[in-house]
Amino acid sequence: MTINKSILFKYGGNAMTDQKLKTQVLRTICSLKDKGYNVLIVHGGGPFIKQTLKEVNIESEFIDGLRKTTPEAMEYVEMALKGKVNGSLVSIINEMGYKAVGLSGKDGQTVIAKKHLHPHENKGNIELVDLGQVGDVDSVDPSLMNLLLKNDYIPVLTCLASDKNGDTYNINGDLFAGHIAGALAVDQYVILTDVDGLLLDKDNPDSMLHELKVSEINHLKEIKCIQGGMIPKIESCEIALEKGAKLARIINGTVPEQITALFENQKVGTIIKK
């Protein structure tokens, strides 16, 4: 059996905080290996960062919903993402009999970061705000991930990376995953979230958009169809497609059956194409 198509899953949110659901989701993702697919997982871990910082009494300052990350907080952010979340995912996957390798963008200089300056509106003027150790993706080198995939491993990456000076940055998990998916030119980039896909009207489950072209995204933002937490998810799909991914899709990660349905020619989630 040779398929060797590659699928990258961006995993996070509610599907990660429920232990039983987490195991179900990972089992479903990893079962694609048995069907001949190469599988990668990229994760964030907002709830775990929040909990860890609370435990060590580090107050977080937010600007437009974005966490300002001091060097002191960064140490604990890395501890939460690499130690707690990444370690847990790798252990569960290995226990199922697959071979997972836990990584961040720092490993093998896979991702080089740059400081993120956030455009913040103040009294009608736009000013760029320094959020500390919050970064953007500057470049991706996919060679380590390709080496792991070639040798039958499942790379599990968290969204941390260093800049050229060796300073560590926390990067938005969705945007980080989009860059990785593009650099690897994956066949499918799948974002697992807690809704069934993109709704034209968020209060009407029947208004699901099953397919969407990149050229339609700006209009959907203008009419507030794409808003809040869905903005970085859609933007990450744009990045992935622009950089080389074949197809992007948003599905409900709290319903593991939707992952299985991806490969049974069923209509599931929202597909984004160029």
Is the residue at 259 inside a domain?
yes
25 within 8 A of 32, measured Cβ to Cβ: no
Task: Enumerate the β-bridge partners of residue 208.
Answer: 199
Is the residue at 1 inside a domain?
no
Average per-residue pLDDT for the chain: 92
CATH number assigned to the domain comprising residue 106: 3.40.1160.10
Is the residue at 143 inside a domain?
yes
CA distance 160 to 172: 9
Domain hosting 217: range is 6-273
- The pLDDT value recorded for residue 87 is 96
Is the residue at 183 inside a domain?
yes
- The pLDDT value recorded for residue 113 is 98
- The pLDDT value recorded for residue 2 is 52
The structure's pTM equals: 0.94
pLDDT over 70, % of the chain: 98
β-bridge pairing 38-43 and 154-158: parallel
- The pLDDT value recorded for residue 41 is 98
Question: Residue 3 — very low, low, confident or very high, per pLDDT cuts 50/70/90?
Answer: low
Stretch 189-217: mean pLDDT: 88
Is the residue at 231 inside a domain?
yes
How many domains would you assign to the chain?
A: 1
Is the residue at 243 inside a domain?
yes
Look up residue 214 and give its two tokens. 């990149």
